[in-house]
């Protein structure tokens, strides 16, 4: 299958996905909105979300404009193609659009879910889940559409593989740029509003969550949408697009595929897998329905039925495509390993954070020992929970590389994300159900309705935790694939697996340290940002309660002001962490480019960047998993106690667990998820600016053939000797086999020991 045909298949699948999204959108919007009061509340949430996104996109727009211009300027003074700038712009637009559309439907589905839930649980689930599928479909369709179109255009326009990789990566870079700000800004907004609403409302005034008298309650509900819907959407948009881009790039670079004549087949494979995934996801989404009076288990079962059926069908599609394209079965093994890995990480995340399992139950029990203990135990739980996802990532990576080389890592990521349409649907469903409950409370609907929305909401919490694990796992695999593509782009004449570095090189080693530090600095900034923003909300809410006489029934709360404050502070606080994430890799790359040949090169060069990528990837992965799982476990430990365990509401254990939840909020909803984007951003920025570096760096390679590496070790520090030896060796025996054996012996250091061993 040619590149153009595969691209067209990708485009067709994307259009079908968009058509399905439109169909589901129409279904959702056709549902009744309920009473006037409900409509009134929903309108306020819509206005707030709209206002935030407009402000946020305007701020990001400036950034996007600056970067586009910078990329254009760079394309004039270096070998960076202008197409990168175009792709960047398109990626930013597509990512922004995906986030916007997802939120558009979410803030309209919430009230309709409430209304539907007042009729039946199944109807409620259907409306909420349908709005999730709108989001899921739009994200995967826009991503695949963009990649497919650019893939056809760029491979026809450009021919140097590093240039093609850079241009394609521009699309992913555009997506990540939106994502980093959307995740950080949305994350700050949602947690600041949540903490602000709770701290004054629940703790100081003593009114329940979502009480309409709380001035921050609308902001709180807006927050669910801007953080968990728009932020998560942009995040996974980018993972999805970048995993495909990385796979295409690595297939393009591969000298093995070139030699075999399978390059094009390997290039189109990820596009076709993604296309199949979209179509299968649509089919599987029709399986999600439940019976009236279904319990938590059954509700979860119905969502799982959708996800697992889609996974099963995708496995069949992967194998079919591999056979049809005439590829080795090892390609299927790598792809399926990724798919299974994604499901496994989701499962382990649930194990560590759901109150149906031991870890969270023990955390609840520890709350009886007081606040200090519950914090220590929660942190320990989060740290311990890194074990399972690391093992999964390690196994997937080992299988992927051993079966399909570094291309295997990229297609493992593609495989992991192949069911994203439906996975994201179950994830985006959560905030809608959460909002639906809020609206039911604010509109004083009967308890029966509230119980149904509670059931839907509680389900959303579980899927949100699973979704977070999935987002981190796929981000790690994607970042690893992008990193491989970047390293390969620096020396496009060899296979990525053949690239060697001096492992104790000063810039590399110091790059490891700097990279490992970045997630810590980034998390510190975002955690403090939440605190600062929350503080502003708290003061405003206190002021309103004090001045407006809300509790005495004399005045109405001013929701708009809280929304405006949340918006302002989130936008302000997102700038620094977002800028750092972009500035570090760009800065190192520019220093490398400009410092070539000078004394600076000894201290900072391309190896610094490679070190930063590796260091940040592994450090951020641990921190992100720790934060997400500790946060999720604290949240559920609190709910477990509220459900009547260990003294229930109002007990000392409950007070302790509430503090745990407060600490966990920025962990799991702001800092943790933002780290996913940080690592992808660092890697994709590097890939984008690889053409700048390729002319100034000396990336070395040693061929490796098959399983056992062929060693070409040169033991002497003096160049003269090497040449002499090489000549002697070549003269002594002209066949490659013997030469290789000689080299291997050298590598083991047996021959030379006597020379320098005394």
206 is an interface residue for a copy of itself by CB under 8 A: no
Both tokens of residue 140? 């995967």
152 is an interface residue for a copy of itself by CB under 8 A: no
Q: Compare residues 35 and 712 and give the one whose CB is closer to a copy of itself.
A: 712
What mask of x and - would describe binding to a copy of itself in positions 636 to 665, judged by CB under 8 A? ----------------------xx--xx--
Task: Choose which of 166, 426, 435, 619 interacts with a copy of itself (CB under 8 A).
Answer: 619
Report d(CA 68, CA 634) in Å as an integer: 42
- As a three-state string, the secondary structure of 109-174 is HHHHHHHHHHHCHHHHHHHHHHHHHHHHHHHHHHHHHHHHHHHHHHHHHCCCHHHHHHHHHHHHHH
User: 542-571: which residues touch a copy of itself (CB under 8 A)?
Assistant: none
State the residue for tokens 């169909």. 23
Report d(CA 268, CA 270) in Å as an integer: 6
Least distance between a copy of itself and beta carbon 369 (Å): 7
User: 245-264: which residues touch a copy of itself (CB under 8 A)?
Assistant: 255-256, 258-259
598 is an interface residue for a copy of itself by CB under 8 A: no
618 is an interface residue for a copy of itself by CB under 8 A: yes
User: 400-439: which residues touch a copy of itself (CB under 8 A)?
Assistant: 401-402, 406
702 is an interface residue for a copy of itself by CB under 8 A: yes
- As a three-state string, the secondary structure of 579-598 is HHHHHHHHHHHHHHHHCCCC
715 is an interface residue for a copy of itself by CB under 8 A: yes
Q: Compare residues 298 and 700 and give the one whose CB is closer to a copy of itself.
A: 700
Do the Cβ atoms of 374 and 367 come closer than 8 Å?
A: yes
Task: Choose which of 51, 528, 548, 590 interacts with a copy of itself (CB under 8 A).
Answer: 528
Least distance between a copy of itself and beta carbon 707 (Å): 6
Report d(CA 227, CA 186) in Å as an integer: 4
Which secondary-structure segment (H or E) carries 701? strand 700-701
Report d(CA 81, CA 592) in Å as an integer: 19
91 is an interface residue for a copy of itself by CB under 8 A: no
Report d(CA 718, CA 448) in Å as an integer: 83
579 is an interface residue for a copy of itself by CB under 8 A: no
Of the CA atoms within 13 Å of residue 443, those in its CB half-sphere come to 27
Task: Choose which of 156, 295, 298, 700 interacts with a copy of itself (CB under 8 A).
Answer: 700
Question: In angstroms, how far is CA 538 from the centroid of its own chain?
Answer: 31
Least distance between a copy of itself and beta carbon 525 (Å): 8
User: 669-698: which residues touch a copy of itself (CB under 8 A)?
Assistant: 694-695, 697-698
62 is an interface residue for a copy of itself by CB under 8 A: no
Q: Compare residues 106 and 406 and give the one whose CB is closer to a copy of itself.
A: 406
Task: Choose which of 21, 111, 375, 425 interacts with a copy of itself (CB under 8 A).
Answer: 375
Task: Choose which of 8, 325, 501, 548 interacts with a copy of itself (CB under 8 A).
Answer: 501
Q: Compare residues 294 and 400 and give the one whose CB is closer to a copy of itself.
A: 400
Only segment of 65-73, 81-89, 375-383, 421-429 that touches a copy of itself (CB under 8 A): 375-383
47 is an interface residue for a copy of itself by CB under 8 A: no
Q: What DSSP string describes 16-33?
A: HHHHHHHHHHHHHHTS--
Local structure of residue 367 (DSSP, 8 states): G
Judged by CB under 8 A, the number of residues near a copy of itself is 136
Q: Is the dihedral angle over the CA atoms 46, 95, 458, 310 positive or is it negative?
A: positive
Task: Choose which of 418, 491, 566, 676 interacts with a copy of itself (CB under 8 A).
Answer: 491
Task: Choose which of 513, 547, 583, 643 interacts with a copy of itself (CB under 8 A).
Answer: 513
User: 92-111: which residues touch a copy of itself (CB under 8 A)?
Assistant: none
730 is an interface residue for a copy of itself by CB under 8 A: yes
Closest CA to 100 of 152, 43, 62, 142: 142
Task: Choose which of 444, 502, 549, 649 interacts with a copy of itself (CB under 8 A).
Answer: 502
156 is an interface residue for a copy of itself by CB under 8 A: no
Task: Choose which of 59, 143, 340, 484 interacts with a copy of itself (CB under 8 A).
Answer: 484
Report d(CA 442, CA 449) in Å as an integer: 12
393 is an interface residue for a copy of itself by CB under 8 A: yes
User: 160-189: which residues touch a copy of itself (CB under 8 A)?
Assistant: 160-161
722 is an interface residue for a copy of itself by CB under 8 A: yes
Report d(CA 235, CA 254) in Å as an integer: 28
Q: Compare residues 451 and 740 and give the one whose CB is closer to a copy of itself.
A: 740
732 is an interface residue for a copy of itself by CB under 8 A: no
12 is an interface residue for a copy of itself by CB under 8 A: no
Closest CA to 574 of 191, 229, 196: 191
- 383 to 378, 524, 528, 624, 700: CA distances (angstroms): 9, 17, 21, 10, 37
371 is an interface residue for a copy of itself by CB under 8 A: yes
Report d(CA 306, CA 287) in Å as an integer: 6
Classify residue 711 by burial, with Cβ atoms within 10 Å: 0-12, 13-18, 19+.
middle
384 is an interface residue for a copy of itself by CB under 8 A: yes
What mask of x and - would describe binding to a copy of itself in positions 733 to 752, judged by CB under 8 A? -xxxx-xx---x--xxx--x
237 Cβ neighbours under 8 A, 6+ residues apart: 94, 95, 98, 99, 139, 142, 143, 175, 179
What mask of x and - would describe binding to a copy of itself in positions 314 to 353, judged by CB under 8 A? ----------------------------------------
Only segment of 3-11, 182-190, 304-312, 505-513 that touches a copy of itself (CB under 8 A): 505-513
580 is an interface residue for a copy of itself by CB under 8 A: no
Closest CA to 525 of 675, 681, 372: 675
Classify residue 712 as left (phi > 0), alpha (psi -120 to 50) or beta: beta
Which secondary-structure segment (H or E) carries 700? strand 700-701
Classify residue 235 as left (phi > 0), alpha (psi -120 to 50) or beta: alpha
Task: Choose which of 398, 583, 594, 600 interacts with a copy of itself (CB under 8 A).
Answer: 398
What mask of x and - would describe binding to a copy of itself in positions 348 to 367, judged by CB under 8 A? ------------------x-
Task: Choose which of 29, 72, 97, 383 interacts with a copy of itself (CB under 8 A).
Answer: 383
Q: Compare residues 172 and 515 and give the one whose CB is closer to a copy of itself.
A: 515
Task: Choose which of 47, 50, 153, 369 interacts with a copy of itself (CB under 8 A).
Answer: 369
From the CA atom positions of the chain, what is the Rg in Å?
A: 27
Of the CA atoms within 13 Å of residue 332, those in its CB half-sphere come to 16
Q: Compare residues 329 and 727 and give the one whose CB is closer to a copy of itself.
A: 727
Do the Cβ atoms of 683 and 584 come closer than 8 Å?
A: no
55-71 exposure pattern, b = at least 16 Cβ within 10 A, e = fewer: bbbebbeebbeebbeeb
Question: For residue 701, what are the β-bridge partners?
Answer: 499
Least distance between a copy of itself and beta carbon 313 (Å): 29
- 166 to 628, 645, 690, 703: CA distances (angstroms): 32, 55, 7, 25
Least distance between a copy of itself and beta carbon 120 (Å): 39
Task: Choose which of 8, 12, 575, 701 interacts with a copy of itself (CB under 8 A).
Answer: 701
524 Cβ neighbours under 8 A, 6+ residues apart: none
Report d(CA 435, CA 426) in Å as an integer: 15
Residue 639, Cβ neighbours under 10 Å: how many?
Answer: 17
Task: Choose which of 510, 543, 548, 591 interacts with a copy of itself (CB under 8 A).
Answer: 510
Q: Compare residues 115 and 671 and give the one whose CB is closer to a copy of itself.
A: 671
Residue 555, Cβ neighbours under 10 Å: how many?
Answer: 14
192 is an interface residue for a copy of itself by CB under 8 A: no
Least distance between a copy of itself and beta carbon 541 (Å): 14
């Amino acid at each position: 299958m040619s590149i153009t045909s595969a691209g067209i298949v990708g485009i067709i699948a994307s259009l079908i996905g968009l058509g399905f999204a439109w169909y589901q959108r129409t279904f959702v919007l056709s549902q009744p909105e309920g009473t006037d009061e409900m409509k009134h509340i929903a309108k306020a949430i819509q206005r707030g979300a709209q206002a935030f996104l407009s402000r946020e996109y305007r701020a990001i727009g400036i950034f996007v404009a600056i970067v586009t211009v910078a990329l254009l300027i760079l394309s004039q003074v270096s070998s960076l193609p202008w197409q990168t700038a175009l792709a960047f712009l398109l990626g930013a637009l597509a990512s922004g659009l995906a986030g916007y559309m997802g939120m558009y439907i979410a803030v309209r589905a919430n009230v309709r879910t409430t209304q539907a839930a007042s009729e039946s649980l199944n109807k409620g689930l259907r409306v909420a889940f349908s709005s999730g599928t709108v989001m899921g479909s739009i994200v995967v369709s826009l991503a695949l559409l963009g990649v497919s179109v650019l893939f056809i255009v760029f491979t026809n326009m450009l021919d140097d593989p590093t240039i093609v990789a850079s241009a394609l990566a521009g699309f992913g870079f555009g997506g990540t740029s939106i994502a980093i700000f959307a995740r950080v800004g949305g994350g700050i907004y949602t947690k600041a509003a949540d903490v602000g609403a709770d701290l004054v409302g629940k703790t100081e005034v003593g009114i329940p969550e979502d009480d309409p008298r709380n001035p921050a309650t609308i902001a709180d509900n807006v927050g669910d949408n801007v953080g968990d819907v728009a932020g998560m959407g942009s995040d996974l948009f980018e993972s999805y697009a970048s995993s495909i881009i990385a796979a295409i790039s690595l297939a393009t670079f591969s000298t093995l595929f070139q030699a075999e004549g399978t390059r094009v087949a390997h290039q189109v494979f990820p596009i076709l897998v993604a296309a199949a995934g979209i179509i299968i996801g649509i089919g599987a989404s029709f399986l999600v329905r439940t019976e009236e009076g279904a319990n938590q288990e059954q509700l979860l079962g119905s969502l799982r039925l959708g996800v697992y059926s889609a996974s099963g069908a995708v496995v069949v599609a992967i194998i079919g495509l591999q056979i049809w394209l005439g590829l080795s079965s090892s390609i299927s093994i790598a792809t399926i390993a990724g798919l299974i890995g994604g499901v496994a990480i989701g499962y382990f995340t649930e194990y560590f954070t759901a109150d149906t399992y031991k870890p969270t139950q023990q955390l609840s029990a520890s709350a009886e020992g007081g606040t200090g203990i519950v914090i220590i135990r929660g942190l320990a739980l989060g740290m311990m929970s890194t074990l399972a996802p690391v093992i999964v990532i390690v196994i997937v990576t080992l299988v992927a590389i051993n079966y399909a080389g570094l291309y295997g890592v990229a297609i493992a990521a593609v495989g992991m994300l192949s069911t994203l349409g439906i996975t994201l649907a179950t994830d985006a469903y959560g905030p809608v159900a959460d909002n639906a409950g809020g609206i039911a409370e604010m509109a004083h609907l009967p308890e029966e309705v509230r119980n149904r929305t509670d059931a839907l909401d509680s389900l959303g919490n579980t899927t949100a935790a699973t979704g977070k694990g999935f987002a981190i796992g796929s981000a790690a695999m994607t970042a690893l694939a992008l990193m491989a593509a970047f390293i390969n782009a620096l020396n496009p004449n060899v296979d990525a697996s053949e690239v060697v570095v001096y492992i104790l090189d000063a810039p590399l080693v110091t790059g490891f340290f700097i990279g490992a530090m970045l997630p810590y600095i980034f998390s510190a900034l975002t955690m403090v940002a939440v605190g600062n923003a929350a503080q502003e909300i708290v003061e405003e809410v206190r002021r309103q309660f004090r001045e407006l006489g809300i509790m005495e029934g004399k005045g109405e709360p001013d929701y708009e002001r809280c929304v405006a404050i949340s918006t302002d502070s989130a936008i302000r606080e997102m700038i620094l962490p977002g800028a750092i994430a972009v500035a570090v890799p760009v800065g190192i790359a520019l220093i490398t480019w400009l410092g070539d040949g000078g004394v600076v090169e000894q201290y900072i060069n391309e190896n610094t960047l490679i070190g930063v990528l590796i260091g940040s990837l592994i450090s951020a992965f641990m921190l992100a998993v720790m934060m997400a799982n500790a946060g999720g476990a604290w949240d559920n430990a609190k709910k477990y106690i509220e459900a009547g365990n260990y003294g229930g509401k109002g007990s000392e254990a409950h007070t302790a667990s509430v503090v745990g939840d407060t600490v966990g909020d920025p962990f799991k909803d702001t800092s943790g998820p933002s780290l996913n984007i940080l690592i992808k951003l660092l890697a994709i920025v590097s890939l984008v600016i690889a053409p700048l570096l390729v002319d100034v760096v000396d990336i070395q390679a040693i061929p490796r053939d098959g399983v056992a590496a062929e060693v070409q070790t040169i033991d002497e520090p003096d160049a003269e000797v090497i040449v002499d030896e090489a000549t002697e060796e070549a003269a002594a025996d002209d066949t490659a086999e013997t030469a290789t054996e000689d080299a291997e012996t050298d590598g083991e250091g047996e021959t030379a020991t006597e020379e320098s061993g005394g």
